[in-house]
Amino acid sequence: MADIPVYFRNRCTCVEVVDSNTLRSSCRLHDTLTDAFVELTATLPDMEITDIFGQVTRTYRDECREFRPDALKKVIGVRIGAGLLKILKGLLGESNECMQLSFMVEECCHGVILSLNKDMLMPLAKSGVEPTKELFAAMVKENIRLYNRCAAFAPGSPIVEGIEPP
Amino acid sequence: MLKYMRSKLISIMQRGSDLLIVHGVLDDDVYNLEIDVSIGIQDLEIKSLEGKWGRYTSPECPRAIPMLQEAVGYQIEADDFDQKVHKVVGRKACRHFANLLLECCHSAKEAVMLVLWEKEKESNPELSFDDYRAGRKVVSQKKQPEPKAKVEVRAPREEVVFDEPVPIQKHTSDGFIIDIHMHTYPASQCSIISVDDIIREAKHIGLDGICLTDHNYVWSPDDVDELRQRHGYLVLRGNEITTDQGDVLVFGLERDIKGIISLEDLRKEALAADAFMIVAHPFRGFLTFGPEQVGLTPEKAMERPMLKLVDAVEILNGKVTPRENDFAAKVAAGLHMKTTGGSDAHERENVGKYATQFQKKIENEQELLAALKEGNYRPVSFRKEMVSGL
């Protein structure tokens, strides 16, 4: 007989364009023990969170059952930018809060960032040209913070050959 | 219209009495990756980890796969587990594998509870999951932030035009140069240089002094005085405080602020203490796109309320791109705000990359504060010229 999983999780994060200055990012979680949803709105170009909503419809955790959706409103006004995780952690609390919802806020914010990363990659994808190491080397030179940020940009990778470490 | 979607699917199976087999898939508009991880049920330790790319961006992304082995042996319930995964798997392998690994391991922790509950039910069939967990409740004790108060803001300033990049000024021999933004270990956990080493390096490259600005950390006056005596060198104190609007360098504030404070509350405290606030790296962007890519112009950025709640702008920061520094310089020029430079050094090689050149000699914190308020200083590029001349 095939294996029967003891646990399943499905998490989906979507970013929608509301208008030319507004993105809506939502994260939906269904797993064996939890069902939760977070949705936030961010405006461009500041990438400022202007609205947020969250709910937990199924959970085993008391701190999530008792979580007031208004508690998420603390992040309104925060910009999705560098240092975001530290700010979210500080505003949304530590282990005695509903960490799942806090994590879902992070996922929504990552979704916004990744959707903009996708915009940067789209012209390349549309051109049909295979990305070369030169192209990525130029990216690292343009933003040296990428150096040693992952295996592809670590010393020893052909991409960073000849690039002076920061 | 949908602009982006990421789905993560995790399934967990039990193998024998003490092993979970976790399979995770991450699929989004750009990446597709999978991992298989086995985790001990009793010790919650990662026993094995295999990864596989389906879709990726750079031709060198496959180099991430062998680096995943670094996570084998990690205890998934350790306090620093998430941090270690971000730091080790995220940095040495790939942040997307780190994200999926965390999803798998968080799921595994819940699966372990289910497995142990099922086991418990063998001898106690009526035991509910809630009852099983009853002994593990946590009482919420989080303190709510105090209501925000109105604080003093400056009047708007006249407009300027942004055409040319703002030239980076080199230091001249007549001023007094201090690196007013630097981090030491262990006061800043993200730093890898000790305070003694940072002082030695600053002396070596010819800085006139340094100011310690560890993250949400207040150095005691006695400790800094001892450092000053021992090294025969000017060591001053500041603090880099995380606010809801980003990082702010504060000088002259003694209170040890932990956690996140709202920028408005920090402003209120700074005004009460007669302290000085500099917004640090205000336009630090992301790894693959900067402020311009999201349509942010200096004119628009000038409207940010946060800039009315600080006294100066750091326009030369050693950790951001030249373009991001230039953007900050244009915004500061547009608002006619005072500007500073600092290395934001977390390692020896960055000490003094940028600094602030004051017109007159500074010998203590009172003089630094007075000089910052007076405004007779400028951000300068320092290290490159000095090190090449050593």
Domains of chain A: which residue ranges?
A: 9-126, 130-160
Per DSSP, what are the bridge partners of residue A23?
Answer: A17, A42
Of the pLDDT bands very low, low, confident and very high (cuts 50, 70, 90), residue B140 is very low
B274 Cα to chain A: minimum distance (Å): 26
Whether B139 has its CB under 8 Å from any CB of chain A: the answer is yes
Task: Return the pLDDT at A89.
Answer: 86
Q: Is residue B209 part of a domain?
A: yes
Select the residue from A9, A85, A129 to test the B interface by mutation, using most B Cβ atoms within 10 A: A9
Question: pLDDT digits over B82-134, tens only?
Answer: 999 999 999 999 999 999 999 999 999 999 999 999 998 888 888 989 888 87
**For residues A35 and A57, what is the distance between their CA atoms, to the nearest angstrom?**
5
Residue B206 and residue B69 share a domain: no
Residue B257 and residue B378 share a domain: yes
Query: Nearest-CA residue of chain A relative to B68?
Result: A151
Residue B207 and residue B336 share a domain: yes
Q: Name the 3-class secondary structure at A80.
A: coil
Q: What is the ipTM of this complex?
A: 0.94
Q: Please judge whether B6 and A146 are an interchain contact, meaning their C-beta atoms are less than 8 angstroms apart.
A: no
Q: Which residues of A touch B29 (CB under 8 A)?
A: 114-115, 118
pLDDT > 90: percent of chain B? 74
What domain range is B302 assigned to? 176-285+294-389
Per DSSP, what are the bridge partners of residue A13?
Answer: A27, B6
Q: Please judge whether B140 and A66 are an interchain contact, meaning their C-beta atoms are less than 8 angstroms apart.
A: yes
| Range scoring the smallest mean pLDDT among A88-102, B19-33, B234-248, B356-370 | A88-102
Task: Return the pLDDT at B42.
Answer: 94
Provide the residue count of chain B: 390
Per DSSP, what are the bridge partners of residue B20?
Answer: B14, B39
Mean pLDDT of A99-128: 89
Of B124, B145, B166, which marks where a domain is finished?
B124
Q: Which residues of A touch B33 (CB under 8 A)?
A: none
Count of CA atoms in the C-beta half-sphere (13 A) of B239: 22
Q: Is residue B145 part of a domain?
A: no
Task: Return the pLDDT at B170.
Answer: 66
A57 Cα to chain B: minimum distance (Å): 16
Residue B268 and residue B187 share a domain: yes
Question: pLDDT digits over B62-92, tens only?
Answer: 999 999 999 999 999 999 999 999 999 999 9
Mean pLDDT of B191-214: 95
Number of domains in chain B: 2
Q: Which residues of B touch A31 (CB under 8 A)?
A: 10, 107, 110
Residue B103, token pair as written in the block: 């999803």
Show which of residues 8-47 on chain B sit within 8 Å of chain A, judged by CB atoms: 8-14, 20, 28-30
Helices B221-231 and B195-205: crossing angle in degrees, nearest 10, is 50
Task: Return the pLDDT at B162.
Answer: 60
Task: Return the pLDDT at B137.
Answer: 36
Show which of residues 46-65 on chain A sit within 8 Å of chain B, judged by CB atoms: 46-47, 60, 62-63
How does strand B338-342 pair with strand B312-317?
parallel
Q: Is residue B147 part of a domain?
A: no
**For residues B96 and B94, what is the distance between their CA atoms, to the nearest angstrom?**
5
pLDDT > 70? residue B47: yes
Higher pLDDT, B96 or B167: B96
Q: Is residue B171 part of a domain?
A: no
A55 Cα to chain B: minimum distance (Å): 18
**For residues B1 and B73, what is the distance between their CA atoms, to the nearest angstrom?**
43
**Using an 8 Å Cβ cutoff, are A88 and A77 in contact?**
no
Residue B197, token pair as written in the block: 């080493």
Buried b vs exposed e over B160-177: b needs ≥16 C-beta within 10 Å?
eebeeebebeebeeebbb
Q: Is residue B234 part of a domain?
A: yes
What amino acid is encoded at B373 in this protein? Answer: K
Long-range contacts of residues B68-74, Cβ cutoff 8 Å, at least 24 apart: B68/B35, B68/B93, B68/B97, B68/B101, B71/B46, B71/B101, B72/B46, B72/B47, B72/B48, B73/B45, B73/B46, B74/B45, B74/B46
Residue A34, token pair as written in the block: 């939890």
| Range scoring the smallest mean pLDDT among A136-145, B205-214, B359-368 | A136-145
A63 Cα to chain B: minimum distance (Å): 7
Q: Is residue B130 part of a domain?
A: no
Domain of residue B244, CATH code: 3.20.20.140
Of B99, B124, B149, which marks where a domain is finished?
B124
Residue B317 and residue B194 share a domain: yes
Task: Return the pLDDT at B378.
Answer: 95
Question: pLDDT digits over B267-282, tens only?
Answer: 999 999 999 999 999 9
Distance of alpha carbon A161 from the chain centroid: 30
Size of interface A-B (CB pairs under 8 A): 223
* pTM for this entry: 0.82
Higher pLDDT, A39 or A67: A39
Q: Please judge whether A45 and B297 are an interchain contact, meaning their C-beta atoms are less than 8 angstroms apart.
A: yes
Residue B185 and residue B83 share a domain: no
Listed ranges A51-60, A64-73, B288-297; the one with the highest mean pLDDT: A51-60
Mean pLDDT over the full length of chain B: 89
Task: Return the pLDDT at A86.
Answer: 87
Q: According to DSSP H, which parts of B187-253 are helical?
A: 195-205, 221-231
Q: Is residue B350 part of a domain?
A: yes
Residue B341, token pair as written in the block: 């430079």
Whether A1 has its CB under 8 Å from any CB of chain B: the answer is no
Q: Is residue B135 part of a domain?
A: no
Q: Which residues of A touch B12 (CB under 8 A)?
A: 5-8
Per DSSP, what are the bridge partners of residue B55?
Answer: B32
Q: Please judge whether A15 and B5 are an interchain contact, meaning their C-beta atoms are less than 8 angstroms apart.
A: yes
B363 Cα to chain A: minimum distance (Å): 31
Question: pLDDT digits over A32-60, tens only?
Answer: 999 999 999 999 998 999 999 999 999 99
Q: Which of B3, B260, B289 sits opposite A90 (nearest CB)?
A: B260
Question: pLDDT digits over B309-329, tens only?
Answer: 999 999 999 999 888 999 999
Residue B191 and residue B85 share a domain: no
Of the pLDDT bands very low, low, confident and very high (cuts 50, 70, 90), residue B156 is very low
A1 Cα to chain B: minimum distance (Å): 13
